[in-house]
A and B are shown apart, each in its own frame.
Chain A
Amino acid sequence: MRHSKSFYIKNYLNYAIILVVLIVFTVLSLTGSAKLSTLLLLEKIAISVILSVSLCMVVGFLGELSLGHAGFMCAGAFLGGKASALLEPVLGNGILTLVISMLVGGFIAALFGVIIGLPALRLRGDYLAIVTLAFGEIIRSLVMNAPTSWFGGTLGLPTPKFNSKYLFIVAFLMVLACLAVTQNLIRSKHGRAIASIRDNEIAARASGVDVTKYKLFVFTVSAFFAGIAGVLYSYTQTRVQSVNFDYNYSIEILVMVVLGGLGSINGSIIAAVLITFLDVELQTLLPGDLAVLQDLFYALILIVIVIYKNAPGLKSFRERYNLRKLLIGRFAAAADAQSSTDSVSGKEEE
Chain B
Amino acid sequence: MNKMFVKILSLCLCLVLASGALVACGNKNDSYVIGLSGPLTGGASVYGTAVKNAAQLAVDEINAAGGLNGVNFTLLALDDQHDASKVATNYASMVDQGMHVSLGCVTSNPCLEFCTLSKADNVFFLTPSASANDVVKEDNAYQMCFADGNQGSVAADYVNGLGLTEIGIFYKSDDPYSQGIYEQFKANLNSSIKTVEALFTDANTSDFSAQIDTLKGCSFIFMPIYYTPASLFMTQAKGKVADNATYYGCDGFDGIESAEGFKIAEIPQKISMLSHFNSKATEGKAGDFIKKYTEKYGTETLNQFGAAAYDCVYAIYNAMKAAADAGENISPDMTASDLCEILKKQFNGGFSYSGATGENIKWQSSGFVDKTAIAYVIKEAN
Contact = CB atoms under 8 A, between A and B. Distances in A.
Touching chains A and B, CB distance < 8 Å? yes
Interface in A270-286: 270, 273-274, 277, 280-281, 283-284, 286
A295 interface: yes
A301 interface: no
Mostly helix, strand, loop or mixed at chain A's interface?
A: helix
A155 B109 contact: yes
Interface residues of B, number: 54
Interface string B54-98: 001000000000000000000111110001111011111101100
B21 interface: yes
11 contacts: A21-B13, A34-B23, A40-B88, A40-B89, A145-B173, A264-B1, A266-B2, A269-B5, A270-B12, A273-B12, A292-B41
Contacts of A35: 20-24, 92, 96
Contacts of A239: 84, 109, 112-113
Interface residues of A, number: 65
A13 interface: yes
A17 B6 contact: yes
Contact of A284 (B85, B93, B174): B93
Contacts of B90: 283-284
A184 interface: no
Contact of B174 (A154, A270, A277, A324): A154
Top 6 nearest A-B pairs (CB, nearest first) are: A37-B92, A291-B79, A291-B40, A284-B93, A266-B5, A345-B1
Interface of A: 10-11, 13-14, 17, 21, 25, 28, 32-42, 44, 144-145, 153-156, 161, 233, 236-239, 241, 243-244, 264, 266-267, 269-270, 273-274, 277, 280-281, 283-284, 286-289, 291-292, 294-295, 323-324, 327-328, 335, 338-339, 342, 344-345
B21 A283 contact: no
Contacts of A237: 84-85, 88, 113
Nearest to A346: B1
Contacts of B95: 36-37
B344 interface: no
Contacts of A28: 21-22
A277 B23 contact: no
Given A35-B96, A284-B89, A277 B12 contact: yes
Interface string B165-191: 000000001111001000000000000
